Amino acid sequence: MVTRISVKHARQAAAIGQQVLVQGWIRTRRDSKGGFSFLEVNDGSSLANLQVVADGNLANYETEVKHLTAGSSVAIEGEIKPSGGKGQATELLAAKITVLGLADPESYPLQKKQHSLEKLREWAHLRPRTNTFGAVARVRNSVCRSIHDFFQEEDFLYVHTPIITASDCEGAGAMFRVTTLELDKLPRDGSPIRHELDFFGKPAYLTVSGQLEGEIFACSLGKIYTFGPTFRAENSNTSRHLAEFWMVEPEVAFYDLVDNMDLAERFLKRLFRDALDRCGDDMAFFNEHYDKTTIETLEKIVACEFHRLPYTEAVEILQKSGEKFEFPVEWGIDLQSEHERYLTEKHFRGPVILHDYPRTLKPFYMRVNDDGRTVRAMDVLVPKVGEIIGGSQREERLDVLTQRMAEQGLRSEDYWWYCDLRRYGTVPHAGFGLGLERAVQFITGMANIRDVIPFPRTPGSAEF
Ligand code: 4AD
Ligand code: MG
């Protein structure tokens, strides 16, 4: 009996002696003087390839096998044998090789061994076939699995919040509009746009965060998380910003900010631990080729406690640092990435949770402290990537909330349902959002966020 098997499983000693079918893509072909060839086959199931021995006696050896080049697709039947080769326990002795599709070596872009990451971004349809992007895809998958494992094990309810929304959670105004109005037929005489004719009867947008809807479910069902794509139309062309990214947002009734920080720390450690445990080969690859410190950094973080300090103390540390910053530091400024990096990379040398930020810097929903100047916000900062999590304890007092909305130019009538949560059985609650790509970036050590999402959307770029 022939068993269909992945490269990952075919590489394991337990597979020796089995008659198998392996399907994948050729990475390399090496012809031996003895009249046979070695094929390296990859199917995405692992970083490592399966070595296939193609004997000269195969029916199509001269006509097809000897013409196989990188990128060609094949189906191979044969027996798994112990291998004498370095770095592999097994190899596949081919009895039959079916060539499914050739890849013309003249035009196949991945024929050449090394391309820059920038160049590979132009080939988003082919880059998953490289070691780097295969490894990123597997680590990203592992992180998503850990996210669900962690919250499910802690009895959080997975809630699907909407992608299309009429409310602006972060109040930043950087939202993509969703409309069926014909843009080239809008009135040009200055008369107002008739939103009542639009699909939803009013302006609608792609969500920047599922938090507000998440709060609805937390304030009914206790512990929830939402996990999905979010969209921001900020025109920031940095190595840490995407216009479309994934965010996981837990929200918990009866939690205060300290509970929230504890949850965030436990959660991140779990993601890092799992990546190390489940993606050993891929992590070793990143450590070797992209960031020589990534495994050591993760191991250290998993074992130590995150530093926690109020924004006000962080400002003092930065002011006393003697460091020359491009943006001078004073109480009330939004910390820039140079400041965050100083704190995480030089001062504390590890993750830092900053909390209690000035109220002027943060959205309306964060709980105002008794000092009146700060809110119960928290940002988790990590070396190199900077902010990876943003969250807060939420304002549960209706009067303070409506005052904060007014302060930020929002009409509380537009958020009547959000206010209702405070009107009927209000409870203290808290939550946060982790940017999935920032997490994958940090874990892998990849320098640019565009290389940890399959199809990056950034200003001026949405091919594929
Ligand atoms: O700090 P942010 O804006 O917080 C919120 O949206 C809250 N509503 C979350 C909550 O409390 N439920 O975003 C949360 C995280 C950031 O820390 C960052 O990791 C990521 O989302 N993020 C981005 N990632 C990639 N590209 C962007 N443009 C991002 N903006 C935020
Ligand atoms: Mg933030």
Write out the two tokens for 328.
């001078």
Mean pLDDT for 332-354 is 95
Query: What residue owns the CA closest to ligand 1's atom 29?
Result: 241
Mean pLDDT of 394-407: 96
For residue 170 and ligand 1, the question of a CB distance below 6 A is answered with: yes
Q: How many CB atoms lie within 10 A of CB 5?
A: 22
Taking CA atoms only, the protein residue closest to ligand 1 atom 7 is: 433
The percentage of the chain sitting over the pLDDT mark of 70, rounded to a whole number, equals 100
The predicted model gives 226-235 an average pLDDT of 94
Q: What is the mean pLDDT of residues 425-453?
A: 98
From the list 234, 214, 260, the residue with the least C-alpha distance to 355 is: 260
Both tokens of 248, joined, read: 């996981």
Instruction: Say how far residue 15 (Cα) sits from the centre of its chain.
Output: 34
- Report residue 170's pLDDT band, with 50, 70 and 90 as the boundaries: confident
Tell me what pLDDT residue 407 has: 92
Q: Is the pLDDT of residue 185 over 90?
A: no
Q: Is the pLDDT of residue 22 over 90?
A: yes
**Closest among 269, 211, 227, 226 to 430, alpha carbons compared:** 211
Spacing, Cα 390 to ligand 1 middle (Å):
6
Is residue 358 predicted with pLDDT exceeding 90? yes
Residue 192, pLDDT score? 87
Contact assessment for residue 84 and residue 73, using Cβ atoms and an 8 Å cutoff: no
Average pLDDT for 440-450: 97
Average pLDDT over residues 44-52: 97
Q: What is the pLDDT of residue 189?
A: 86
* Class at the top of the CATH hierarchy for domain 128-160+220-227+235-451: alpha beta
How high is the mean pLDDT of the chain? 95
| Architecture, CATH, for domain 3-101 | Beta Barrel (2.40)
Residue at 208: amino acid letter: V
Instruction: State yes or no: pLDDT of 235 exceeds 90.
Output: no
- Distance (Å, whole) CA 291 – CA 256: 36
Instruction: Characterize the bridge pairing of strands 164-165 and 204-206.
Output: antiparallel
pLDDT bin (cut points 50, 70, 90) of residue 169 is confident
Over residues 364-387, the mean pLDDT reads 97
Using DSSP's 3-state secondary structure scheme, residue 254 falls into coil
pLDDT confidence bin for 173, thresholds 50/70/90: low
pLDDT of residue 77: 98
For position 388, what pLDDT does the model report?
97
- pLDDT value of residue 454: 97
| 433 Cβ inside 6 Å of ligand 1 | yes
Mutate to test the pocket of ligand 1, among 257, 438, 461 (most ligand atoms within 8 A of CB): 438
**Given a cut of 90, is residue 187 above it in pLDDT?**
no
Per-residue pLDDT, 184: 87
Ligand 2 is an ion; its neighbours by CB within 5 Å are 390
C-alpha to C-alpha distance for 56 and 31, rounded to whole angstroms: 10
pLDDT at 151 over 90: yes
Distances (CA, A) of 260 to 163, 430, 433: 25, 6, 11
- Beta-bridge partner residues of 204: 178
Atom 6 (ligand 1) nearest CA: 209
Distance of CA 215 to CAs 64, 251, 304, 383, 414, Å? 61, 6, 31, 30, 16
Closest residue by Cα to atom 18, ligand 1, is 435
301 and 266 Cβ atoms separated by less than 8 Å: no
pLDDT attached to residue 72: 97
Per-domain boundaries in the chain? 3-101, 128-160+220-227+235-451
Mean pLDDT, residues 311-327 taken together? 96
**What are the DSSP E strand ranges found in 192-295?**
204-206, 223-231, 244-253
Residue 327 is predicted with a pLDDT of: 95
Q: What is the pLDDT of residue 247?
A: 98
Question: In which order are the strands placed within the sheet that holds 204-206?
Answer: 164-165, 204-206, 177-178
pLDDT band at 172 (very low <50, low <70, confident <90, very high): low
Atom 20 in ligand 1: residue holding the nearest Cα: 435
Is the per-residue pLDDT at 463 higher than 80? no
Instruction: Give the Å distance between the CA of 432 and the centre of ligand 2.
Output: 9
